[in-house]
Structure formats: structure tokens, C-alpha cells
Amino acid sequence: MYYRIICLLIGYAIGCIQIAYMMGKHVGGIDIREHGSGNAGTTNVVRVMGAKIGILVFVLDLAKGMVAFVLCSAIFGGGSAYSSGALGLIPGLYGALGAVLGHDFPIQLKGRGGKGSATTIGIVLLLDWRIALICYLSGAVTLVFTRYVSATSILIACLMAVLLAMFAYQPEVVCIGAILAALSLYQHRANISRLVRGEAKKIKFKKQG
């Protein structure tokens, strides 16, 4: 049991690196949480600071989940879609879960972080190439045809959990996938309400200057 707790803590520390907040402070001279939607995440950065900074935030947030996964797998003998290990996906997934929790609820920002979308999307790539392919293709189609980033993020997180069960992964792995999906739903609860009411904003990329 102890390694699970350590993986969560390692992941949480990585997740607490708030890329959107730091970009806002050091590049834009603002607290990104006080502008736009108030979320410290990619979509709000795109709307407030432009696509170039937003894409950089997305890539770095995506990397947080992947780094936490790979690091915890390496330390505790886990595996991924591209490597084998005695403990399978479990160490990496606990690290990844910690990264999402750190991103969403960073202690240094009094719990006001992002929604964990990019971090969760990065995790999918390391689980199973079949799951990654289905999730990413489904997400791409959803984004292209709806332009709703929140709907795309929720779909990918929930599909990941469902596919882990469909491909018969061990119950603990499926459980962590379900927790990640539940976190996505919880963090997007306001977006879900707006989607239901038809008031959700579609993503628009604006050029700097």
C-alpha cells in the first residue's frame, strides 16, 4: 500500500506546478484566475492571452500527467502501453491521479487550479494504444464538429474509464480510471450546466497583437 501513497504524493507535487498561472503572471502580468472564466487552464489562457501561449500551456499541462506516470512507474516497477513491469499500470496511474489532483487543487493557490483536462488527456497515451486511439479520434471529431472544449474533455475522460473496463483491466486500474472520469465531471459541472442550457461558449482562437 505504501507505494500508492508515495505515487500520489509525487504526482501531486508535479501537478501543483501551475503552468497557466505562471504564464499569466510572468508573461501577461495577470492572475489568469481573475480573467475570463477564472479557470487556470488552457481554454481560458487561449481566450485571454491568445493561441500561442494557450498551446504552450496545453503541452506542458499534458506533460505533467505523463511525467508523473512515467516517473512513478520507473521508481516502483510499473509498466505502460510501451513497457512492461510487475505492477502494471498501477504505480503510473496513482502518480497520474496525484498529478490531476495537484493540477485541480494546488495547495499553494488554496485549491484554485484548473480542471485537469490536458493532464488527463496526456495520461491516456500511456495506458493502451487502443484506448488512446479511440479516445483521441473521438475527441478530435467532437471538437471539430461542436467546438466545445469541455464536451471534448469530458468525453475523453469518460471513454478512458469505460474502455479500461471493456478491455478487462484489473479492478484497481478500472477504479482509478473511474475516479479520473468523476473528477473531470465534477470539475466541469458548471460547463455541463451551460451545455444543457445551450449557453456554452465555443472555442475561438485569437491572434496576438
Domain boundaries, the chain: 2-197
Neighbours of 34 (CB within 10 A): 9
Q: Does pTM top 0.85 for this prediction?
A: yes
Instruction: Kindly report, residue by residue over 55-83, the tens digit of the pLDDT.
Output: 999 999 999 999 999 999 999 999 888 88
Instruction: Kindly report, residue by residue over 11-32, the tens digit of the pLDDT.
Output: 999 999 999 999 998 888 898 9
Contact (CB, 8 A) for 21 and 177: no
C-alpha–C-alpha distance, residues 98 and 80, integer Å: 17
So what's the pLDDT on residue 208? 45
Nearest to 31 by CA among 15, 16, 17, 20: 20
So what's the pLDDT on residue 122? 92
- The DSSP code for 16 is T
pLDDT band at 139 (very low <50, low <70, confident <90, very high): very high
Cell numbers at residue 207, please?
A: 491572434
Across 189-203, average pLDDT: 86
